Amino acid sequence: NGDVFDHDLISLPPCFRFSPTDEELLVLFLRRKVAGRRLSINFITEIDFYKFEPWELPSKALFGDYEWFFFSPMDRKNPEASEPNRVTGVGYWEDAGSGTDKIITTAGRKLAGNAPNGIKTEWIMHEYRLIEPHPNNDSSKLDDWILCRISQCRGSS
């Protein structure tokens, strides 16, 4: 019936780990989000990703021990630009991305301070957005939504 289950009402085994591949994130989650279709269980939190520092995000995720996932509205540098605004309160996410004909994935490290002189932190983010048309998508632009995967590189300097 399309309803999303309340996480407090379902019981997943203690060994459950949410660890989707890049393809699963794009096909099962982001494409469905853009098309307005839901899964029966909501695995990914919807949040305004760039309004938070990375160390604030794990507590807001629905699942995750070492990596966390978020849907976010795309924040652009200006309304006509396709370039996202990756500035946060105390730094920015450095773009180290690549793109294909159908998707754009961006991997980057969180930097503290102002561009271009930021100091690298231990936080890494992968940003996914669609750029190919979807047959069931009439009302919104494809890149209105992004999916972010963040992780913390422990022990790196």
Please give the angle made by the CA atoms of 59, 26 and 8, to the nearest 5 degrees. Answer: 35
The answer on pLDDT for 156 being more than 80 is: no
How many structural domains comprise the chain?
Answer: 1
Q: Does 58 score more than 60 pLDDT? A: yes
Residue 123 lies in a domain: yes
The pTM score is 0.75
pLDDT given at position 56: 92
Instruction: At 82, give phi and psi (nearest 5°).
Output: -90, -15
Give me the CATH number covering residue 101.
2.170.150.80
Give the domain extent around 64: 22-152
Residues 6+ away with beta carbon under 8 Å from 25: 69, 128, 147, 149
Q: Looking at residue 136, what is its pLDDT?
A: 53
Q: What is the pLDDT of residue 44?
A: 92
The answer as to whether 138 is a domain residue is: yes
Residue 58 resides in a domain: yes
Give the tens place of pLDDT for each residue, 90-117.
Answer: 887 877 765 544 455 555 666 666 667 7
Q: What percent of the chain has pLDDT over 90?
A: 13
Query: With bands split at pLDDT 50, 70 and 90, how would you rate the model's confidence at 1?
Result: very low
The answer to whether the beta carbons of residues 51 and 73 sit under 8 Å apart is no
